Structure 1
Amino acid sequence: MKIAIIGTGFVADYYMTTLANHPQLELCGVFDRDQARLAQFCAHYGTRAYPDFQSMLADDDVAIIVNLTTPESHYALSRQALAAGKHVYCEKPLAMRYEEAAELVALAEAAGLTLATAPANALSAAHRLVADKIGQGAVGQARLVYAQMEDGPVFRAPWQEWRSVSGARWPGLHEFEIGCTLEHAGYALSWLVALFGPVDSVTAFSALTFPDKGPGTGSIEPGPDFSVGALRFRSGVVARLTNGLAAPRDRSMTILGDAGTLTVGDLWDHSSPVYLESAHGGRSLATKLAERLEAKLGRFIHSKPLPGRKIRYGRDARRLRLPNYPSRIDFAGGIAAMADAIEAGTRCFASGDVALHITELALALNNAASLPQPYRLQSSFEPAKAG
Structure 2
Amino acid sequence: MSAATTAPAAASGAPVDGSPLRVGVVGAGVISKQYSASLARLPQLRITAVSDLDTERAGALAAEHAGARVLPLEQLLAADDVDVVLNLTLPRTHADIALQALAAGKHVYGEKPLAMHVEQGRQVVKAAAVSGLRVGCAPDTVLGTGVQSARAVLDTGQIGVPHSATAFMTTPGHERWHPQPDFYYQPGGGPLLDMGPYYVTSLVHLLGPVQRVVGVSWRPQQQRTIGSGPRAGESFEVAIDSSVAGVLVHASGAVSTLVMSFDTWAARLPRIEVHGTGGSLSVPDPNHFDGSVQVYSAASAPAPSAEADHEANWREVGVRAGYVGAGRGYGLADLAIALGAGRAHRASDEVALHVLDVMESVQRAADTRSTVELSTTCERPEAVGEPVDLTAAPLHHLST
Same fold (TM over 0.5): yes
Is the counterpart of residue 262 in structure 1 residue 291 in structure 2? no
Is the counterpart of residue 182 in structure 1 residue 196 in structure 2? no
Q: Return closer, same or farther for 1:220/1:40 CA change in 2, 3 Å cut-off.
A: farther
With normalisation by structure 2, the TM-score equals: 0.80
Is the counterpart of residue 272 in structure 1 residue 291 in structure 2? yes
Shift in Å, 1:375: 1.1
Shift in Å, 1:22: 1.8
Counterpart of 2:210 in structure 1 is: 199
Q: Return closer, same or farther for 1:72/1:367 CA change in 2, 3 Å cut-off.
A: farther
Counterpart of 1:60 in structure 2 is: 80
Q: Return closer, same or farther for 1:367/1:12 CA change in 2, 3 Å cut-off.
A: farther
Shift in Å, 1:238: 0.4
Q: Return closer, same or farther for 1:318/1:202 CA change in 2, 3 Å cut-off.
A: closer
Shift in Å, 1:220: 4.1
Q: Return closer, same or farther for 1:265/1:56 CA change in 2, 3 Å cut-off.
A: same
Q: Tell me how far apart the structure 2 counterparts of residues 262 and 319 of structure 1 sit (CA, whole Å).
A: 21
Counterpart of 2:389 in structure 1 is: none
Select which of 326, 330, 351 maps to 2:348. 351
Select which of 250, 270, 287 maps to 1:233. 250
Select which of 295, 311, 314 maps to 1:308. 314
Give runs of aligned pairs for residues 1-387 of structure 1, distance below 5 A.
1-43=21-63, 48-155=68-175, 157=176, 159=177, 170-177=179-186, 178-215=189-226, 216=233, 218-247=235-264, 248=266, 252-282=271-301, 292=307, 308-313=314-319, 320=325, 330-371=327-368, 373-383=370-380
For residues 156-214 of structure 1, give each alpha carbon's deviation from its aligned partner in whole angstroms, at most 9, with x where no partner exists: x3x25xxxxxxxxx532222332111111000111111122111001112222222212
Q: What SS does structure 2 have at the residue aligned with 1:241? A: strand
Q: Tell me how far apart the structure 1 counterparts of residues 140 and 166 of structure 2 sit (CA, whole Å).
A: 20
Q: What SS does structure 2 have at the residue aligned with 1:131? A: helix
Question: Which runs of 5 or more structure 2 residues have no equivalent in the other structure?
Answer: 1-20, 227-232, 386-400
Q: Return closer, same or farther for 1:313/1:369 CA change in 2, 3 Å cut-off.
A: closer
Q: Return closer, same or farther for 1:265/1:194 CA change in 2, 3 Å cut-off.
A: closer
User: Does the CA contact (< 8 Å) of 2:143 and 2:322 recur in 1?
Assistant: no
The amino acid that maps onto 2:183 is H
Q: Tell me how far apart the structure 1 counterparts of residues 103 and 109 of structure 2 sit (CA, whole Å).
A: 14
CA RMSD after TM alignment: 2.7
Shift in Å, 1:341: 1.1
The amino acid that maps onto 2:271 is S
The amino acid that maps onto 1:86 is K
> What number of residue pairs does the alignment pair up?
352
Of residues 366-375 and 20-29 in structure 1, the stretch that sits farther from structure 2 once superposed is 366-375
For residues 345-385 of structure 1, give each alpha carbon's deviation from its aligned partner in whole angstroms, at most 9, with x where no partner exists: 22112323222101211222345443562111101123368
Q: Tell me how far apart the structure 1 counterparts of residues 234 and 274 of structure 2 sit (CA, whole Å).
A: 38
The amino acid that maps onto 1:82 is L
Identical-pair percentage = 28
Q: Tell me how far apart the structure 1 counterparts of residues 292 and 73 of structure 2 sit (CA, whole Å).
A: 41
Q: Tell me how far apart the structure 1 counterparts of residues 354 and 46 of structure 2 sit (CA, whole Å).
A: 29
